[in-house]
C-alpha cells in the first residue's frame, strides 16, 4: 500500500477521531501529534487499534515509538513498510 | 445530618426577616433533614434548619440556644469528640439541657469564641448567631466534608447548606459563573470559594467567616501540612492501629444503627471491619455491582461481607440505571460533572435508606492520605525517569500503570513519552498536569461565546498562584497529595459524589480516614511508608493483615468507575438525552459548539468514542445542559457576552 494512501486514510481518521471538534486546526504531515496536543496517551491506543483494523498492521510493542508513529508522515512510512506484501506481521 | 439556611440583614427590617422566605429555603433542603424542621427570625437575622435525627433523637431540635437564648446555632454535621468537650464545658460551669452535640457547640462558642474550631474533631458546617454582638459566625470542617454556601449583596448575607436554598430565598439569583464552569472542566469541580454560580461562594474547608454590620471577614483555622519524617517511627503500626480504632469508635457514636458502604477495596473493608467489631448493632453493609465486569467488584464485596457476617445488601447497576437518575444527580450535585460516578452513589444511598440506615461509614480519604491512586505512582515514575532522561529501561515501568485501561498492555515508547512530556518537575502542578490537561480537552467543545466569557482566565495559573507558602518545602508526592486533597477530594469526591448523593436520601456518610488525627499521622509519615516502589498504601496494608481477608489486603487498588457513554446510548435512552444534545437546544443555550457536539454524538452512537477524552466530554455536555436547564432556565445568556445568543 502506498504511503500516500496510508497518509490520506490516517489523516481522515485523525480528523474524524481527534480533531472533529477543532475544525480550524491545521495539521501538517510532519507535525508531531503528541507535542501539538492532537493525541494523548489514550489516543495512542486508539491509533494502534485503527492501524490494525484499517491496514491489518499489528504494531509490535517495541515499534510503538515516536520515530514510527510521531507524525502522519512517520505513520504512513511505517504502515506502508509493514502492510501486506511488505513484510507485514501476522 | 441536616441542612441549614439563614439570612442576616445589614439594616433591621420592620416586621423582621420573612418566615415565609425561611420556610422556602428550608423546603429546598428537606431531603437533607426529613425528620423535623425549625426556624428563628428577628428584625435582622433569620435561621432555618431541617433535621436528620441521629444523636438525641428526642431532643436536639434547632435552632438551639444557650441558657438565655443570646447565642443560637443551626448546624449540619457531627462533632465526634462532643462527649469529651461536654465534660470539659460542664467543669467550666456551663449547663446543658440536651445530650446532643449541637448544644456542645453553643457552649464551646461561649467559652472559647472562634478558637473553639481548633478543638473540634468532626465533619460540620454551622452558623452561630450571637445576638449580643449582632454577629453571625459561619464555619466549615477541616477537609470540607460538609458544605456551606453564601452570597453577599448590599451588606446582607444569605447562607445555606446547598445553593438551591439560596435561590429559594428569591433574593439570590441563579446565574452562570463562566470561570467556575471552566474550573470544573479543568479540575472536575470549581475551586472553593468559587462555584459555578455567579456571586455564590463556597466557604473553604478549614475556614470561618464572621458577618457583622454588613461586613463579612474570613479567616482560616486549619491548613494542610506535610511535616514528613525521615524515617518511619518504630511505633508507627501500633499508633495507626490506635488511631483507626478510635476514629471508627467515635464515628459509631449514634442513637441510630450505623451501616457501612462496602466497595470491595481495602479502605471500605477496613472501615466496615472495624465497625463490625465496635458496633453494638449487627452491621448492615451496602454495595453496588455493575453489569460490566471491568467495573464490578462484587466478588470482593461478598468475600468481606461473609467474613464480617454482615447483613449485606446489593444494588446491581446497569447503564440504564445511571442515565435514568442522572438528572436528579445533577440537581443534587448543583454542578456540571465530568464523570457519571456520582449516580451509583446516589442509588447506593437510596438502598441504605430503604433498609432504615441513615448513617454509614465509608472509606474516602484513605487514597489521599496513604497515596493510593495511580496518579501518585505516575508522579513517582515520571520523576524517576526524568532523572535519567536517556534511560530506555526506566520508562518501561509506565506499562504497569493503569492496567484496567488496556488489558493487552500494548503501549510502547509512545505511551511512555506522553508521560515524560506532560510537564516539568519544576512546575508546582507537575503531578496533576496530565489529568488537568486531559480534563481540559472538554474545552475543545466550548462555543465561541463561552470562550469569550472566560476570556484570559487561566485556571492552572490561578491555582499555581494560590498554593500555600509551605508547598515548595514538601516532597513531590506530598505536593501531589495536597493537590489531590484540595482540587478533587473536597470539592468533588466529598461533595458531588459524597454529601450531595447521600443526603439526597437523608443518609449521613462518615469518614474514619478523615479524622484529623489520622490525617496528621499520615502526613508525618515518610512517603516511602505509603508508596513503596509501586505498591500503594504500604503501611495500611501491613496494618490490615489481621483485619481484612488476604485477597483484599493484597489486592491492587481498583479505581471506582461507572458506565459513561454506554449509559446514554442504550437501546432506549431517556428522552432528555436527545433533547439536550440536540443542535437547536445547544445553539439556544450557547455553551457548546453544536457541530462539535454532533460529531461527538455520532462517534458515541457508532461505538467509537471509547476513551476518557470523549466520555468525559459527553458527560460534561449532558450534565451542563441539565444543570443549566434546572438552575438557570433561560438565564444562561446573562453570563455570556451581549448579543451572543443570536
Q: Does B176 lie in the same domain as B271?
A: no
DSSP codes of every residue in B403-451: TTT-TT---HHHHHHHHHTS--TTSTTGGGHHHHHHHGGGGGGB-HHHH
* Contact in structure between B7 and B46 (CB atoms under 8 Å): yes
Residue A59: closest C-alpha in chain B = B410
Sheet holding B215-220, edge to edge: B64-65, B71-79, B122-130, B135-140, B207-212, B215-220
Is B634 a residue whose pLDDT tops 60?
no
Residue A66: closest C-alpha in chain B = B414
pLDDT at A84: 65
Residue B401: closest C-alpha in chain A = A41
Q: Name B216's bridge partners.
A: B211
For residues B66-83, one letter each, b for 16 or more C-beta atoms within 10 angstroms of the residue's C-beta and e for the rest, the string is: beeeebbbbbbbbbbbbe
DSSP conformation class of B532: B
**Are A21 and B596 in contact (CB < 8 Å)?**
yes
pLDDT in tens, B476-512: 999 999 999 999 999 999 999 999 999 999 999 999 9
Residue B612: closest C-alpha in chain A = A42
Q: Does B273 lie in the same domain as B134?
A: no
Which is the CATH superfamily of the domain at A3-82? ACP-like (1.10.1200.10)
Residue spans of beta strands (DSSP E) within B221-292: 258-261, 284-290
Chain A CB contacts of B419 below 8 Å: 41
CA distance A14 to chain B (A): 13
pLDDT in tens, B62-87: 899 998 999 999 999 999 999 999 99
Q: Does B214 lie in the same domain as B143?
A: yes
What count of CB pairs under 8 Å joins A to B?
78
Chain A CB contacts of B417 below 8 Å: 34, 66
Q: Please indicate, yes or no, if residue B260 is contained in any of the structural domains.
A: yes
The continuous run of DSSP H or E covering B315 comes out as: strand B311-317
pLDDT at B641: 55
Residue A64: closest C-alpha in chain B = B412
DSSP conformation class of A35: T
pLDDT at B645: 40
Q: Does B361 lie in the same domain as B263?
A: yes
CA-CA-CA-CA torsion for B323, B328, B330, B332, nearest 10 degrees? -150
Calculate the alpha carbon distances from B641 to B172, B173, B629, B644, B645 in Å: 21, 18, 19, 6, 9
Q: Please indicate, yes or no, if residue B452 is contained in any of the structural domains.
A: no
The residues in B 391-450 lying below 8 A from A, measured between CB atoms, are 405-406, 409-415, 417-419, 421, 434, 437-438, 441, 444-445
Q: Does B62 lie in the same domain as B118?
A: yes
Q: Does B249 lie in the same domain as B193?
A: no
List the CATH number of the domain containing B365: 3.40.50.620
B594 interfacial to chain A (CB closer than 8 Å)? no
* Contact in structure between B321 and B620 (CB atoms under 8 Å): no
List the CATH number of the domain containing B118: 3.60.20.10
Kindly list the catalytic residues of B: 2
For residues A21-38, one letter each, b for 16 or more C-beta atoms within 10 angstroms of the residue's C-beta and e for the rest, the string is: bbeeeebeeeeebbeebb
**Are B611 and A46 in contact (CB < 8 Å)?**
yes
User: Best interface-test mutation with A: which of B395, B404, B406, B412 has the largest number of A CBs within 10 A?
Assistant: B412
Q: Please indicate, yes or no, if residue B342 is contained in any of the structural domains.
A: yes
Q: Please indicate, yes or no, if residue B379 is contained in any of the structural domains.
A: no
Q: Does B248 lie in the same domain as B182?
A: no
Where in the sequence is the domain holding B74, given as residue range(s)?
2-220
What's the rounded mean pLDDT across residues B410-428?
78
Q: Does B242 lie in the same domain as B147?
A: no
* Contact in structure between B597 and B621 (CB atoms under 8 Å): yes
Q: In the numeric block, which cell numbers belong to residue B75?
A: 448546624
Chain A CB contacts of B406 below 8 Å: 45
**Are B412 and A22 in contact (CB < 8 Å)?**
no
User: φ and ψ at B6, to 5 degrees?
Assistant: 180, 175
Report d(CA B374, CA B218) in Å as an integer: 36
Q: Name the band, by pLDDT with cuts 50, 70 and 90, for residue B636.
A: very low
Percent of chain B with pLDDT over 90: 78
CA distance A25 to chain B (A): 11
Q: Does B515 lie in the same domain as B624?
A: no
Q: Does B347 lie in the same domain as B310?
A: yes
pLDDT in tens, A25-37: 999 999 999 888 8
Chain A CB contacts of B438 below 8 Å: 40, 42
Chain A CB contacts of B603 below 8 Å: 16-17, 20
Report d(CA B190, CA B188) in Å as an integer: 7
Chain B CB contacts of A42 below 8 Å: 405, 438, 611-613
> Among candidates B112, B66, B56, which has minimal Cα distance to B85?
B112
Report d(CA B488, CA B492) in Å as an integer: 5
Q: Does B263 lie in the same domain as B195?
A: no
- The last residue of one of the domains, among B553, B576, B602, is B553
pLDDT at A40: 77
Report d(CA A27, CA B595) in Å as an integer: 20
> Among candidates B387, B392, B389, B401, which has minimal Cα distance to B533?
B401
pLDDT at B640: 56
Q: Please indicate, yes or no, if residue B172 is contained in any of the structural domains.
A: yes
Average pLDDT score, chain B: 92
pLDDT at B422: 81
The continuous run of DSSP H or E covering B38 comes out as: strand B36-41
Q: Does B614 lie in the same domain as B511?
A: no
Q: How many domains does chain B fold into?
A: 3
Of A16, A17, A64, the CB nearest to B415: A64
Is B158 a residue whose pLDDT tops 70?
yes
- Report the residue count for chain B: 646
Close Cβ partners of A8 (under 8 Å, ≥ 6 residues apart): none
pLDDT at B401: 77
Q: Name the band, by pLDDT with cuts 50, 70 and 90, for residue B410.
A: low
Which residue blocks in B514-640 are alpha helix, DSSP H? 516-524, 527-530, 538-543, 550-553, 565-568, 575-581, 583-589, 594-606, 612-627
pLDDT in tens, B100-122: 889 999 999 999 999 999 999 99
- The last residue of one of the domains, among B524, B553, B582, is B553
Amino acid at each position: 500500500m502506498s504511503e500516500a494512501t496510508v497518509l490520506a486514510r490516517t489523516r481522515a481518521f485523525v480528523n474524524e477521531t481527534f480533531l472533529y471538534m477543532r475544525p480550524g486546526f491545521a495539521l501538517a504531515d510532519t507535525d508531531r501529534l503528541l507535542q501539538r496536543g492532537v493525541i494523548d496517551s489514550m489516543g495512542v491506543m486508539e491509533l494502534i487499534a485503527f492501524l490494525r483494523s484499517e491496514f491489518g498492521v499489528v504494531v509490535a510493542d517495541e515499534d510503538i515509538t515516536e520515530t514510527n508513529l510521531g507524525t502522519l508522515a512517520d505513520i504512513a512510512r511505517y504502515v506502508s513498510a509493514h502492510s501486506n506484501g511488505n513484510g507485514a506481521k501476522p | 445530618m441536616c441542612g441549614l439556611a439563614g439570612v442576616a440583614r445589614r439594616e433591621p427590617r420592620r416586621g423582621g426577616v420573612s418566615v415565609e422566605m425561611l420556610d422556602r429555603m428550608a423546603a429546598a433542603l428537606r431531603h437533607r433533614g426529613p425528620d423535623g424542621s425549625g426556624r428563628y427570625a428577628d428584625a435582622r437575622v433569620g435561621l432555618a434548619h431541617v433535621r436528620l435525627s441521629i444523636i438525641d433523637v428526642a431532643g436536639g431540635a434547632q435552632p438551639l440556644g444557650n441558657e438565655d437564648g443570646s447565642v443560637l446555632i443551626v448546624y449540619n454535621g457531627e462533632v465526634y469528640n462532643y462527649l469529651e468537650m461536654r465534660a470539659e464545658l460542664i467543669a467550666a460551669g456551663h449547663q446543658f439541657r440536651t445530650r446532643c452535640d449541637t448544644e456542645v457547640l453553643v457552649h464551646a462558642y461561649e467559652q472559647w469564641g472562634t478558637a473553639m474550631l481548633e478543638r473540634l474533631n468532626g465533619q460540620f458546617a454551622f452558623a452561630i448567631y450571637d445576638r449580643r454582638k449582632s454577629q453571625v459566625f459561619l464555619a466549615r470542617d477541616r477537609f470540607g466534608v460538609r458544605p456551606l454556601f453564601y452570597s453577599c449583596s448590599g451588606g446582607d448575607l444569605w447562607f445555606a447548606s446547598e445553593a438551591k436554598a439560596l435561590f429559594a430565598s428569591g433574593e439570590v439569583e441563579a446565574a452562570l459563573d463562566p470561570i467556575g464552569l471552566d474550573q470544573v472542566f479543568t479540575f472536575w469541580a470549581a475551586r472553593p470559594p468559587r462555584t459555578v454560580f455567579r456571586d455564590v461562594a463556597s466557604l473553604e474547608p478549614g475556614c470561618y467567616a464572621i458577618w457583622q454590620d454588613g461586613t463579612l471577614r474570613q479567616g482560616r483555622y486549619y491548613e494542610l501540612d506535610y511535616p514528613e519524617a525521615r524515617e518511619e517511627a518504630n511505633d508507627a503500626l501500633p499508633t495507626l492501629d490506635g488511631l483507626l480504632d478510635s476514629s471508627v469508635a467515635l464515628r459509631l457514636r449514634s442513637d441510630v444503627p450505623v451501616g457501612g458502604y462496602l466497595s470491595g477495596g481495602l479502605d471500605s473493608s477496613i472501615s466496615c471491619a472495624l465497625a463490625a467489631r465496635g458496633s453494638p448493632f449487627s452491621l448492615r453493609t451496602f454495595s453496588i455491582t455493575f453489569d460490566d465486569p471491568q467495573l464490578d467488584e462484587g466478588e470482593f464485596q461478598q468475600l468481606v461481607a461473609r467474613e464480617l457476617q454482615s447483613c449485606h445488601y446489593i444494588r446491581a447497576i446497569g447503564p440504564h440505571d445511571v442515565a435514568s437518575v442522572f438528572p436528579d444527580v445533577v440537581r443534587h450535585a448543583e454542578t456540571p460533572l465530568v464523570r457519571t460516578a456520582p449516580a451509583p452513589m446516589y442509588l447506593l444511598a437510596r438502598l441504605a435508606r430503604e433498609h432504615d440506615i441513615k448513617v454509614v461509614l465509608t472509606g474516602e480519604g484513605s487514597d489521599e492520605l496513604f497515596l493510593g491512586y495511580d496518579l501518585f505512582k505516575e508522579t513517582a515514575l515520571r520523576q524517576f525517569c526524568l532523572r535519567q532522561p536517556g534511560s530506555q529501561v526506566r520508562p518501561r515501568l509506565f506499562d504497569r500503570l493503569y492496567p484496567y485501561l488496556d488489558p493487552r498492555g500494548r503501549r510502547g515508547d509512545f505511551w511512555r513519552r506522553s508521560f515524560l512530556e506532560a510537564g516539568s518537575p519544576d512546575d508546582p502542578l507537575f503531578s496533576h498536569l496530565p489529568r488537568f490537561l486531559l480534563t481540559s480537552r472538554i474545552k475543545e467543545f466550548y462555543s465561541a461565546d463561552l470562550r469569550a466569557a472566560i476570556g484570559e482566565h487561566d485556571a492552572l495559573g490561578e491555582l499555581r498562584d494560590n498554593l500555600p507558602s509551605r508547598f515548595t518545602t514538601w516532597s513531590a508526592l506530598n505536593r501531589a497529595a495536597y493537590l489531590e486533597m484540595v482540587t478533587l477530594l473536597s470539592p468533588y469526591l466529598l461533595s458531588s459524589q459524597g454529601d450531595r448523593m447521600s443526603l439526597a436520601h437523608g443518609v449521613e456518610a462518615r469518614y474514619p480516614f478523615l479524622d484529623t488525627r489520622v490525617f496528621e499521622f499520615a502526613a508525618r509519615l515518610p512517603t516511602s511508608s505509603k508508596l513503596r516502589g509501586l505498591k500503594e498504601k504500604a503501611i495500611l496494608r501491613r496494618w490490615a493483615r489481621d483485619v481484612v481477608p488476604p485477597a483484599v489486603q493484597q489486592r491492587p487498588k481498583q479505581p471506582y468507575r461507572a458506565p459513561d457513554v454506554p449509559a446514554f446510548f442504550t437501546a432506549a435512552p431517556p428522552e432528555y438525552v436527545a433533547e439536550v444534545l440536540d443542535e437547536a437546544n445547544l445553539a439556544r443555550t450557547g455553551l457548546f459548539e453544536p457541530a462539535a457536539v454532533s460529531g461527538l454524538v455520532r462517534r458515541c452512537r457508532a461505538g467509537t468514542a471509547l476513551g476518557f477524552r470523549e466520555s468525559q466530554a459527553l458527560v460534561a455536555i449532558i450534565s451542563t445542559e441539565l444543570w443549566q436547564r434546572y438552575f438557570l432556565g433561560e438565564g444562561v445568556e446573562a453570563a455570556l457576552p451581549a448579543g451572543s445568543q443570536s
